[in-house]
A and B are shown apart, each in its own frame.
Chain A
Amino acid sequence: MTEAIIIGLLVMSLDLVMGYAGLVSFGHAAFFGVGAYISAWVLAWQPISFPLILFLAFGVNALLGMVVGLIAIQARGIYFAMITLAMSEVIHWTLYDLRGISGGDSGIVGIIPSPISFPGVFSLDLTRPWAYFYLTVLTVALAFWLAYRFVHSPFGSVLQGIKDNENRCRFIGYRVKKYKLTAVIFSSGLAGLAGALYSPLYGFASPHLMEFHLSGKIILMNLLGGMGTLVGPIVGGVFLTIFESIISSYIKEYLIFIGIAFVLLVIFLPHGLYGVLAKGWGKFIFFVPGEKP
């Protein structure tokens, strides 16, 4: 469950660029992986209070996102996707080859989360699964709240304008690239945050976390959850991760079933899982983009 929520956060981070700015990033696995390594490295070096590590992972990945973003936003559409894919592969294989710090193929194992501690006041041991679960939920809730404020702000409304009609945005006077870049920075920071939560959970970080098939998978999860809703992607990430783990423990060829499930979902739930939930639970509370009255 904890893992599912972390993946939910990762998918939500992707939604910021994909669902709101209309930029399909094919490189979010790299930020996730770098975040995972930051946890691993810092915890091996000095077990500072865990929330600080999460902040650090957010910051480093935001910077990394700025570098990737500056290059990638020069292109649009499929070319943006290709550049992000290429750059994430560069990061992936660079870390893979730096065996000294990344552990190469086998990665780093035995990562133990440090406690949350205010010296002399209290200390929370995060090696207990429940404690870690609560921390994860809290972090994701905070990230969601920030992201929610972000997309519903005047700034976020420009992003939606860009997604709808980039050309007109320029003629209105918006510097489109500045907005796109900010979205990429925020999004990659959150992806890194997800990664930093992930590696202490199973105690390992490896370059395999950055493989592009994860990037592809979260794009699917975003589409299936309900792109451009923030909640949808979390639902999609959580649901599909759990579904995958349940079904894979029963059947060896589980990928076939996941494939079938994907196809069925796309055909029957065009607004994603969230679209169904929103319909059932009242359209007035949740807005489903793209739904025509």
Chain B
Amino acid sequence: MTGTPANIILEVSGLSRDFGGLRALSDLYLNVIKGSIHSIIGPNGAGKSTLFNVIMGMFPPTKGRIFLQGKEITGLPPQKVVFHGISKSFQVTNIFSNLVVRENLRLACQVMERKIPLFRRKECLPLVEEHTEWLLETLGLTEEAYTIAGNLSHGKQRALEIGIALATRPQVLLLDEPTAGMTTAESIQVAEFIKSLSKELTILMIEHDMQVVMEISEVISVLHQGQKIFEGVPDVVRNHPQVQEIYFGKGLTNA
């Protein structure tokens, strides 16, 4: 039992993670409000990806606890954390590149079935089929449904990447640089897409494209050297002197 208020869906409390002598995360506190788009920004090595990896259970924290909808998920491995209603898309595209697009999504949808049949036909799960079709449509991948995923364009692979994370029906979606390597036009599309998703779920994302961040985020947390140095709405964050110092160097604030 925690004192988490009802509108906080994800709570990170006093989280630290060391890699040998290096402290990647240091006593980090973070509250994510249900239904919001919450961005995490910060320079390289600030601990953003480490934070995601610890939440997803890729490795346990050195110290601290994580709560999802009031339930503790600290240290649970990825294959268990998913069933608490959270999933993550990867910074480096991590899809099933030898399978067709539809199968990528179908496979991910299927995990939520209680029983996975051993000898029946692959298409025997009506809910999975329905959800897969819905995803293909939402992601705009219907035409490419039977394309080998590895042959998709970069932009479409990124969409599929998010789609796989979405397929497990999370309440909280972690996006690790969803617009990585995209053109400006593609980034805007993805931003729109993320915004449309936030009607139904909570999004916590790491993003370097400031335009996207400022445009769609409701809350922005600034990480630096494993600590949260500031948090606020986009306009406040943009003008905060410490943030400017980290992002643009000292020169600009003095000028």
Contacts and interface: CB of A to CB of B under 8 A. Distances in A.
Interface of A: 146, 149-150, 152-158, 160-161, 164-165, 167-176, 182, 289-290, 292-293
A149 B117 CA distance: 10
Contacts of B167: 172
A172 B95 contact: no
20 contacts: A149-B120, A154-B110, A154-B128, A155-B116, A157-B103, A157-B106, A158-B107, A161-B96, A168-B90, A170-B77, A170-B78, A171-B78, A171-B79, A171-B87, A172-B87, A173-B78, A173-B87, A173-B112, A174-B111, A176-B79
Nearest to A173: B82
Of A146, A164, A167, the most chain B CB neighbours within 10 A belong to A164
B168 interface: yes
Nearest to A290: B98
Nearest to B110: A154
A173 B97 CA distance: 18
A172 B168 CA distance: 7
Interface in B68-91: 77-80, 82-83, 87-88, 90
A165 B97 CA distance: 8
A165 B117 contact: no
B151 interface: yes
A173 B79 contact: yes
B124 interface: yes
Interface of B: 56, 77-80, 82-83, 87-88, 90, 94-99, 103, 106-108, 110-113, 116-122, 124-125, 128, 148, 151, 164, 167-168
B94 A173 contact: no
Contacts of A171: 56, 78-79, 82, 87-88, 90, 94
A150 B110 CA distance: 16
Given A168-B94, A170-B78, A289-B98, A150 B119 contact: yes
Nearest to A291: B148
B120 A172 contact: no
A158 B116 contact: yes
A158 B108 CA distance: 9
Contacts of A175: 79
A174 B90 CA distance: 17
Contact of B79 (A170, A182, A293): A170
A158 B119 CA distance: 13
Given A172-B108, A173-B79, A152 B98 contact: no
Nearest to B161: A168
A290 B150 CA distance: 11
A164 B79 contact: no
Contacts of A182: 118
Given A152-B122, A157-B122, A172-B168, 18 more contacts: A153-B118, A153-B122, A154-B113, A155-B117, A157-B106, A158-B107, A158-B116, A160-B99, A164-B98, A165-B94, A168-B95, A168-B96, A169-B107, A170-B78, A171-B82, A173-B78, A290-B98, A292-B148
Contacts of B108: 172
A150 B106 CA distance: 17
A176 B77 CA distance: 12
A233 B108 CA distance: 29
A154 B120 contact: yes
Contact of B111 (A150, A152, A160, A172): A172
Contact of A150 (B80, B118, B128): B118
Contacts of B164: 168, 172
Contacts of B128: 154
A182 B116 CA distance: 12
Nearest to B124: A154
Contacts of B111: 172-174
A76 B164 CA distance: 24
B168 A173 contact: yes
Contacts of B118: 150, 153, 155, 182
B10 to A, nearest CB: 17
A290 B148 CA distance: 9
Of A157, A158, A168, A290, the most chain B CB neighbours within 10 A belong to A168
B171 to A, nearest CB: 14
